[in-house]
Chain A
Amino acid sequence: MRLPSVEREWLNRAQKIEFSFEGRPYEGYAGDSISSALWANGVRVLGRSFKYHRPRGLLSLANHDVNALFQQGGEPNIRGDARPLETGMRLTAVNTFGGGVAHDNGRFLGLLSRFLPVGFYYKAFHTKALFPLWEKVFRLTTGLGKVDFATPRKRTAKSYDFCDVLVVGGGPSGLAAACAAAKAGARVVIVEENARLGGSGVYQLGADAQRAAILEALLQQVEAADNIRVLVDHYAAGYYKDHWLPLVAHAADAPLRKMRAKSVIVASGAFEQPAVFRANDLPGVMLASAAQRLFYRYGIRPLENPLVLTANADGYRAALDMAKSGARVAAVVDLRGTHAANDLEQQVRAQNIPIHVAASVVEAVPGPGGKSVIAARVGAFADGKAAFGDLREIPCDGILMSVGWAGAANLLYQAETRMRYDDAVEQFVPEHLPEGVFACGKVNGVHTLAAKLIDGERAGAAAAVHAGFGAKGEGVEVPAEIESPSHPWPIIEHPQGKNFVDFDEDVQFKDIANAIQEGFDNIELLKRYSTSGMGPSQGKHSNMNVLRILARLTGKTPAEVGTTTARPMYHPVSMAALAGRGFSPERRTPLHGRHAALGAEWLSAGAWQRPAYYRQDGKTAQECIHAEAAAVRGGVGLIDVGTLGKLEIRGKDAAEFLERVYVSRYANLKVGMSRYAVMCDEAGVIIDDGVVARLAEDHFYFTTTTSGAAGVYAELSRLHILWKLEVTLVNHTGAYAAVNLAGQKSRAVLSRLTDLDLSGAAFPYLGVRTGEVAGIPARLLRVGFVGEWGYEIHVPATYGGALWDALMTAGAAEGIRPFGVEAQRLLRLEKGHIIIGQDSDGLTTPLDLNLHWAVKMEKPFFVGQRSLAILEKKPAKQRLVGLVFPTLPNDAREKPQECNLVIEAGEIAGRITSIAYSPTLQRHIALAFVRPARIRPGERVDIRLSSGDTLTAEVFVPPFYDPENLRQKIAD
């Protein structure tokens, strides 16, 4: 029940909040979590268990529980322990089959439990014939929550963040660590997953005002420190190399912070562990810390008449806190025969609370429908065994379990901390921490409040020193625990079962035992076979007990058994937070706006957007492309080639560098001329091509493919460092705009804009000149990729638009027309010119592409030369040839396509690399790889179409168009 205001509670009682659960209206306060508000309203059954649909209440109130998952509208699996209550929430339980959480029809599955043994999934799928049946059954019965596929896309920000010292956990040791680091001058960030700082210091009080005062003093220190930043309601979802930690907020729209710290202090505390006894999952059986949180944070008396099952001092404190809340504590049942917390025992006895030592709860007695607890059956407990012969039934309305802890060491494991099992505290603790990672408090095996403060100060000072603040001090002695805070065997092997080890997956003691008996006696295998640790809590309250059972049943120690792998994320992270805002920068040439205005249909080429073609009203894409190609063939066209890589090399070894990089010769290239250039890798595979132009004896300007520019520049930079030649390399790809003015009338158009002598003699084919075009300083190359007289004109990027406009204006009388990539591909195909990456693949050599003429094997060296020398002596496997297809009727059912296979004797003998319908030749033409025996002109090869039909094509030696290459020498 809700109490009058409790000191330091988290509620704002002035602000009431109305909500509903399973259709019934309730009221809570601002500051309540969903779970606390429901418990305060007397709701004891919050959900149904995953497998047997058993009624479940609160267990941890620490964001671990499968029991407290809710659905609201399209949002599934809301974690009620952590999500703040909001006005108007309409909540339902996530795992019911009709009848609501109170009368869930799925509860009958519990009656079938004997037919659902451990490893049931694996066993069910063992018979192949039944696979479809089981698939349907499992799809119907499993899964939590309902996903709404119409959920709108959210754009969640991601943010980098930085600090000197990151403290994960705002409990007593974390706060002490933060204060120590801040005192040394470090920029400190505390990340705390709860709504307020304090951790266990807020609620593990044992009704002791002095403990509360210690925490209050720490909080004041934190608040006073200018260099401490606090992120509450955030958790560190994982640890990544170099101290990167994603910090995730509970709030749905808050940004995911990618925190980079110089030092990280893990003060994440520990997960309280349940005891294993029959019916330990009834509503009303909960961890003692959950009950303390309900009381101190939310002003709730969790139970009226609880029984405390304990094995440490924390349990005695819980009993005192419950007494302070007004509860009539039925008894304290201590698993141990003796203990060291005598003062606490005396305080408990002073409250007239009976204490039973060397005893255990062996069974919780259920109330009607298994929805409550009415009593606990208690028996003697010694040497890890309970005596069932003489059980005492103690009436109570719930059982608080305080039998031990497991360090919240997930981040430490992810940071590759070497852990060891410490028998003194029955817990895994860090043995060797990675550089810059520190641990303190419970996760470090330090549980006593005074010791935690010392441990925190030690870690904080050390972390600050690592981050470059303060001087390394003397070693600090942290007092050892006077008794173990955890019991090594808080487990009752009840003959009637239902003693749950994993609450997420309804895994009982016998399931673990049976799995081990079936041979799954390795902790990782056991986890997967039994599914323990695979539910929403990810084993936070089950792994330790599973480990203890495995150790005992196999005669090993916990250290020998070891732990499972703790992978990120620490808690489930929403897809919206993970995806966040993405950046995929798109590269645009300086002519992008011109293309858009002309109706460009865009094509992605690497990071670039290029015009595939320009849309024309009433025309199909192919008609537009053919019209653009016709303009080039019949007059003059203009294409943006600014995406080509544009590199420059200068220095006395520039020619030597290019000789080594490309397969052809460049030392003998005359100034003012250019030459085709092919680049290979060490294996002789062709990786790029372009044109090398010589501007001066020691100065070359050369182009690469659009997609190859960045990679080629990176590789050349590497070779530059390796070879130590006297050259300077510059990447001018983005600095120059470039266009190709092509067609028989290109010279006439250009002549209106430049004083350069454009005659064939003064500016021959493959010539390169510098001059002005429309008053813009330019580099001009006479190249013929599309097979017509043409010029590539390169100008500084800021003048790209001016150049384009000048050319379009100057060519208006000739009907100049912009053409896109598709028309260019068609035109070059008619000439048989290859495109690297389309007509080649990751195994293609220049020899396969008939580029023998370009490969100068007589050079002393070039990259790939050795491999090509070897390959040259071997029989060729494939050759690129031209193919001409028979004229197909316009209504042909199917036309040949790129990547259609060449078939020979029923086997794959090659493939089409490029294909198009040539309006000039009025038939389909292609480039294709075929077997070397089939390269003679007139050979007929079979092409398997996508439908499986076969079409015969004829081998042809390109060019398909203008075989004498006369067109690129003819201009008006």
Chain B
Amino acid sequence: MHAFVAPVAVSPLVEVAFANGKPGAVVFVDHSLTPRYGCKGKGKGAAQWLQSLGLPLPAAPNRWLPLAEEGLIARLGMQEFLIDGNADVVARLQASPPPADVAAVLRQDAALELSGPGLSELLLQTCAVDFAALDLAEQPVVLTRMTGVGVTVIPGASSYRIWCDGTYGAALWESLYAVAADLPEPPAQSLHSTDRSSEHDA
């Protein structure tokens, strides 16, 4: 029987998130390592399964709801869900094998949080969605492309959460950072979240 030191999970942004320290008007936070779970299914399987585990369900695709205490559940399609930011819920889901008509989706996303006075301009330069026209009270989830990368976006009043395929994470971060660095003052910071309470304020 081999015994190993617990392996270290590393953010897909680890090589870029600290490499950029240029001034800008946008604050970048890497949330890639927050607990996350995904599932999708055929028919009503995924929704019913999550409901049976006591999770709230957004009423329609492209909507999200907060989870009790912390974290969120986003409905990415009729039967596709993303649960993010609640370690207890994620652990419970991972410990509960899904029914036959539901498949677990391994979520190894690059996850960012963007905020700051330059955020609107950054979004305008990198994404074709009119975020300003969205009604935040409806808790929208936007699946779109940003700098050519497929992303899931939850817009908030003061910050935006963005998820993408981890293998595109570095490219997305670098492109966003390059645009942000060209925006006028005030200075940006490059942060990694160590405190889960700062994960999102969407």
Contact = CB atoms under 8 A, between A and B. Distances in A.
A727 B5 CA distance: 38
B6 interface: yes
Interface stretch (A111-119, A546-554, A792-800): A792-800
Interface stretch (A290-298, A728-736, A840-848): A728-736
A159 interface: yes
Interface in B114-169: 121, 124-128, 130, 132-133, 147-149, 165-168
Interface in A578-618: 581, 583-590, 592-593, 608
Contacts of B103: 648, 650-651, 728, 730
Interface string A516-560: 000000000000000000000000000000000000000000000
Given A590-B12, A728-B42, A736 B106 contact: yes
Contacts of A801: 8, 10
Given A755-B1, A797-B167, A592 B172 contact: no
B93 to A, nearest CB: 15
- Top-10 shortest CB links A-B: A775-B4, A734-B165, A798-B9, A585-B171, A162-B130, A802-B7, A797-B108, A734-B167, A735-B106, A728-B103
Contacts, number: 136
A556 B22 CA distance: 66
A648 B40 CA distance: 12
Nearest to B9: A798
Interface in B98-119: 100-103, 105-108
A158 B167 contact: no
Interface string B163-193: 0011110111001001100100000000000
Contacts of B62: none
B2 interface: yes
B71 interface: no
B11 interface: yes
B9 A728 contact: no
Given A585-B172, A734-B108, A726 B11 contact: no
A160 B123 CA distance: 8
A707 interface: no
B101 A728 contact: yes
Nearest to A584: B148
A775 B33 contact: no
A159 B121 contact: yes
Contacts of A735: 105-108, 165-166
Contact of B147 (A161, A260, A583, A592): A583
Interface string A159-201: 1111000000000000000000000000000000000000000
B126 A583 contact: yes
Contacts of A755: 1-2
Interface in B67-93: none
B125 A728 contact: no
Given A585-B172, A586-B170, A798-B33, 16 more contacts: A157-B125, A160-B128, A581-B125, A583-B148, A585-B149, A588-B170, A608-B167, A728-B40, A732-B106, A733-B167, A734-B108, A734-B166, A735-B106, A736-B106, A798-B11, A798-B32
A170 to B, nearest CB: 22
A796 B106 contact: yes
Contact of B171 (A587, A648, A800, A802): A587
A289 to B, nearest CB: 36
Chain B interface mostly:
loop
Nearest to A260: B130
B120 to A, nearest CB: 10
B24 interface: no
B167 A588 contact: yes
Interface string A797-810: 11111110010000
A735 B2 CA distance: 26
8 contacts: A157-B182, A160-B130, A585-B149, A588-B171, A650-B103, A728-B40, A730-B105, A733-B165
Contacts of B6: 775
A753 B1 CA distance: 10
A274 interface: no
Contacts of A564: none
Contact of B2 (A652, A728, A753, A797): A753
A802 B11 CA distance: 12
A752 B33 contact: no
Given A158-B125, A799-B7, A802-B7, A586 B171 contact: yes
A586 B149 CA distance: 9
Contacts of A648: 103
B124 A160 contact: yes
A593 B4 contact: no
Nearest to A161: B124
A299 interface: no
B15 interface: yes
Contacts of A161: 124
Contact of A255 (B14, B125, B171): B125
Contact of A651 (B11, B101, B107, B166): B101
A65 to B, nearest CB: 34
Contact of B167 (A258, A589, A650, A726): A589
Contacts of B126: 583
Nearest to A732: B106
Nearest to A729: B103
Interface string A639-664: 00010000010111000000000000
